[in-house]
């Protein structure tokens, strides 16, 4: 997956005249800061740091969020949000992804504490064809504190935002976001055990508030996965030349692992009819072995042999994260 052409062009414009060596140094410093457990509020000191962060991270975070929003579109094709609130917007990554998925979004509000990223986002969105994105409202706010009262929104997105928050702060933010939501709330986190723990926290909280889980779970029952296992997915991201330079990369792509949750209001919900594929399918000439989260609330490995021709052909086209279709009990081994 690539960033939209308008966004790629806007980033390239911001890179004009900027030393790539200096940008690479800044990128390395930011990465070292995060690896040592540093907070994001102290990771960036000026506009160059924000630009380095955007070049390195926007392609991956955009691709993960866009993947998740495509799952929302698959499960709820009639959903057409007119408004969006982007919590932890940074340079506007999730807003761009939502605008790509639903070009008719009419109003966007972006919230973040990092002024440098918000300012970069203001520059980038000047190139957007979406009127809502160009005119989006930006609010600088600490998401770990009580949030301003906002108008109800059709779509709320909280992406790559919860890692530095306490359990109590996460609960407060999700409760506030859900109270403002009249459609779908999307949470995207890094595809790590820690990211998945935060997704599970959000899942339990939202269910307690009457939300319905649309994806990835094909059921409303307790998660069947037990540590050290966890639920995550992957999106391949195409790297630009600058992206490769800043990451000292040798290959023109990277795989972004992510975990996610899509919660919806009752009027948008219908029960899943298909299982979800939880890992890369193991495909051979005569057999496919897949890991499924099933509509009955169980997680299990399933083997489908070529003699079950219809099911075999259908699964040959499926990938990690897709809905698998119906697999009869006698096909499980």
pLDDT digits (tens, 9 = 90+) for 250-285: 778 888 999 999 999 999 999 999 999 999 999 888
Same domain? For 156 and 302 the reply is: no
Same domain? For 233 and 316 the reply is: no
> At residue 115, does pLDDT exceed 90?
yes
Same domain? For 254 and 283 the reply is: no
Tell me the residue range of the domain where 309 lies: 276-331
Instruction: From 105, 101, 161, 91, select the one nearest 133 (Cα to Cα).
Output: 105
Q: How many domains does the chain have?
A: 2
- What pLDDT score was predicted for residue 328? 54
- Model pTM score: 0.92
Same domain? For 203 and 249 the reply is: yes
- What pLDDT score was predicted for residue 330? 44
> At residue 138, does pLDDT exceed 50?
yes
Among residues 268, 285, 306, which one ends one of the domains? 268
Same domain? For 104 and 188 the reply is: yes
The CATH number given to whatever domain includes residue 189 is 3.40.50.150
Among residues 238, 268, 298, which one ends one of the domains? 268
Same domain? For 254 and 284 the reply is: no
Lowest mean pLDDT: which of 1-5, 78-82, 187-191? Answer: 1-5
Same domain? For 53 and 70 the reply is: yes
Same domain? For 218 and 311 the reply is: no
Same domain? For 33 and 111 the reply is: yes
- What pLDDT score was predicted for residue 245? 72
Same domain? For 185 and 317 the reply is: no
Query: Residues 215, 216, 222, CA angle at the centre, nearest 5°?
Result: 95
Instruction: From 299, 320, 167, select the one nearest 229 (Cα to Cα).
Output: 299
User: 26-35: which pairs have CB atoms within 8 A and are 24 or more residues apart?
Assistant: 26/52, 27/52, 27/53, 27/55, 27/56, 27/246, 27/247, 30/56, 31/56
DSSP-assigned letters across all residues of 136-191: -EEEE--TTSPPPP---EEEEEEES-STTS-HHHHHHHHHHHHHTEEEEEEEEEES
């Amino acid at each position: 997956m690539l960033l939209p052409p308008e966004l790629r062009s806007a980033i390239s414009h911001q890179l004009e005249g900027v030393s790539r060596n200096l940008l690479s140094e800044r990128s390395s410093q930011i990465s070292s800061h995060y690896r040592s457990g540093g907070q994001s509020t102290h990771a960036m000191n000026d506009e160059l740091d924000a630009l380095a962060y955007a070049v390195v991270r926007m392609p991956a975070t955009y691709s993960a969020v866009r993947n998740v929003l495509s799952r929302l579109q698959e499960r709820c094709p009639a959903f057409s949000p007119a408004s969006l609130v982007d919590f932890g917007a940074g340079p506007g990554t999730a807003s761009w992804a939502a605008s790509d998925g639903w070009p008719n979004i009419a109003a966007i509000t972006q919230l973040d504490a990092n002024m440098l990223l918000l300012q970069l986002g203001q520059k980038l969105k000047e190139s957007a064809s979406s009127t809502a994105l160009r005119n989006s409202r930006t609010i600088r706010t600490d998401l770990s504190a009580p949030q301003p009262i906002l108008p109800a929104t059709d779509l709320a997105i909280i992406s790559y935002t919860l890692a530095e928050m306490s359990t109590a702060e996460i609960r407060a933010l999700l409760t506030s976001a859900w109270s403002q939501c009249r459609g779908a709330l999307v949470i995207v986190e890094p595809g790590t055990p820690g990211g998945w723990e935060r997704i599970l926290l959000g899942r339990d909280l939202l269910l307690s508030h009457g939300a319905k889980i649309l994806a990835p779970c094909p059921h409303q029952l307790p998660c069947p996965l037990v540590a050290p296992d966890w639920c995550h997915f992957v999106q391949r991201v195409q790297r630009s030349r600058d992206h490769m330079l800043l990451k000292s990369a040798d290959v023109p792509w990277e795989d972004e692992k992510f975990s996610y949750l899509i919660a919806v209001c009752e009027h948008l919900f219908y029960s899943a009819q298909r299982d979800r594929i939880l890992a890369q399918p193991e495909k051979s000439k005569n057999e496919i072995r897949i890991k499924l989260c099933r509509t009955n609330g169980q997680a299990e490995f399933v083997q489908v042999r070529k003699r079950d021709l219809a099911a075999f052909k259908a699964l040959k086209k499926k990938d990690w994260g897709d809905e698998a279709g119906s697999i009869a009990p006698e096909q499980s081994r």
